[in-house]
Every structure is written in structure tokens, then in C-alpha cells.
Structure 1
Amino acid sequence: MNWGKGLIAGMIIFILFITAMGVKMFMLPGDDYDHQYYEKGLTFNRDYDREKQVTTDQAAPVIEQVGQNLVLTFKTPLTGTIRFERPSDQLQDRSFPLQPDADNSVLLPINKLATGKWQLTLNWQHQSKDYLYHQEITIR
């Protein structure tokens, strides 16, 4: 093989490589870019104060999976909501009201949620104090 054929073969291989990378790039799923960044930026201080209140009052709930249920145990009576956010699929996100029993425990059935990683966001109020708590869990 002479230099001319080798140069043409090298260019063709390079063009095929660049084309394959371009096709692969367009076939990847959407970016992880947070499209709500501006709105979240406006409420950052309020959310930070609510997260800090959890630490100050040592009010973090105990979260454990018991069979097909998620048990959240709080230290005080409360009203609020819990949001299950699926990092890999935004369409699976769900919200539920927190309805504690007499022992300040909340029992949530999770059998309809997909197994894998979930981000929990708990918002609750107790005696005119607002709380915000985040935790990542893995549903088995």
C-alpha cells in the first residue's frame, strides 16, 4: 500500500469515528440539567432555614423499610407531605400526605413504586416551625 491509499484510509476511519460519536451523542437520554434552577434559587434561603431547623431541633425522622412499607418515625406530632423523586425518571415522582398515628409514625406502602434509588423530600410543620429534610433511599 502506498502513502496515498494509507492517507485516504486513515481519513475514512477518522470520519467514521467522528460520525459514530455524533450518532452516539444524539442517542443519549436528556441531560441532568435542572430546569427549575431559577425558582429554586429564589427560595434557597427559606429552604436552608427549614433544613437548619431540623438540625437545631434534632427532628430528623427515622426512616426504615419494613417489607413493602416505608416506616417514618418522628419525635413530635406533625402535618406535612413527603415527595418521592426518581432521579432516573421524573414521570415516576409521587407525593403523599404525612398522616402520623398516635406514636408519631407514618406507614407508607411502597409496593407500587419501582425498586432502586429514590430521593425523599419531607416538608412538615410542628408548632408553627417549618422543617425540610432530604434523604436518599434504595427501595428493594
Structure 2
Amino acid sequence: MKINWGTGLVIGMVIFIGFILILVYKMTTDHNLEHDLVTDGYYQKEMELQDDIYARQNSMAMEEQIIGQKNTKGYVLEFPESYDPKNIEGMVFLYRTSSKKLDFELPLDLTDSNFLIPDEFLLKGRWNITIDWEYEGKKFRFKKEITY
């Protein structure tokens, strides 16, 4: 039996559509694939976006910025001298893009203007540091990407 070009075209389209439908079915029903969001509570964090914008604007408006640098004991965050360390409250969150299991959070407890993140907490590689802090009722957010 000889197949003309019209029949061949219809057969080719049916095979292609069947392939696409099988691919879509496999991708949506395969439980081996992880469909996790980047962070837990993603939608809640999206709702807090405006607070984040205000905190970042407050940080950018500071006369002196927070400085971070590596030393022999770990990574040191130096807060501006003009801020009283006793009145600074907040959290330091370190996010590792390669593994959620390595993420950790430290309370911001300052006795002087320096905050040390100990060397044993930081593996070599890229880290995202986020400091959410409050000083005299005003919220600040500092973000920095480092390679340790």
C-alpha cells in the first residue's frame, strides 16, 4: 500500500501530538521529580515584600554601611560605630544556594560593633547573607553575597 503525502502528514502530526501528550503526562505524574519552591513559606514572604523594600531603603540611606570581611576566625560583620550595639536587635540568616540543609540563622547579639560568624559554620562556596535588624524602632535589611 502506498501512502500519499497528505496521509503521511496526518500520521506525523498525530505521532508528534501523542509524544507531547505522553511527555506532559509523565512530567506531571512522576513523583521522583521534586517541585519544591526555593524557600518554605514562599507566598508569605511575597506578602512581606513591601516591608523588605522599606528596610532596604533604610539600609541604603545609612551614612556608613555594614562591612563584611573574612579573617582567621570566620567572617566578621562590622556595624557602623555611630550605632549603639546594645540597641541593635535582629537575626543573621545565611543561605546556601546549593543545599537547603546548610542554611542557618544566628541571633544578632552585639557587645561591640563587630559580629563574628564562626569559621566552623561556613563551608567553602557561595553564601547569601541577610541581616534583618532593628535600631530604635527602625527596621533595616542588609544583603550580601560572599564566596567563602
Same fold (TM over 0.5): yes
Separation in 2, partners of 1:50, 1:131: 4
Query: What aligned pairs does 1:66-77 form with structure 2 within 5 A after superposition?
Result: 66-75=71-80, 76=83, 77=85
- TM-score of the pair, normalised by structure 2: 0.67
- Amino acid of the residue matched to residue 69 of structure 2? E
- Amino acid of the residue matched to residue 122 of structure 1? I
Does residue 108 of structure 1 match 2:113? no
Matching residue of 2:105: 95
Matching residue of 1:34: 38
Gap regions ≥5 residues in structure 1: 1-21
Q: Deviations over 1:58-103 (max 9, x none)?
A: 353100010231111111121211011100100111111122233x
Separation in 1, partners of 2:100, 2:139: 26
Separation in 2, partners of 1:44, 1:68: 34
Matching residue of 1:120: 129
Matching residue of 2:96: 86
Structure 1 pair 106–41 and aligned structure 2 pair: CA distance change class (3 A): same
Aligned mate of 1:45, from 41, 50, 54: 50
Runs of 4+ in 1 over 3 A off after TM superposition: 29-33
Structure 1 pair 85–108 and aligned structure 2 pair: CA distance change class (3 A): same
- Amino acid of the residue matched to residue 42 of structure 2? Y
- Amino acid of the residue matched to residue 127 of structure 1? E
Equivalent residue of 1:111, what SS?
Answer: helix
Equivalences, count: 115
Aligned mate of 1:63, from 63, 68, 74: 68
Q: Deviations over 1:14-34 (max 9, x none)?
A: xxxxxxxx9xx99xx856843
Gap regions ≥5 residues in structure 2: 1-22
Which of these two proteins has the greater Rg computed from alpha carbons? Answer: 2
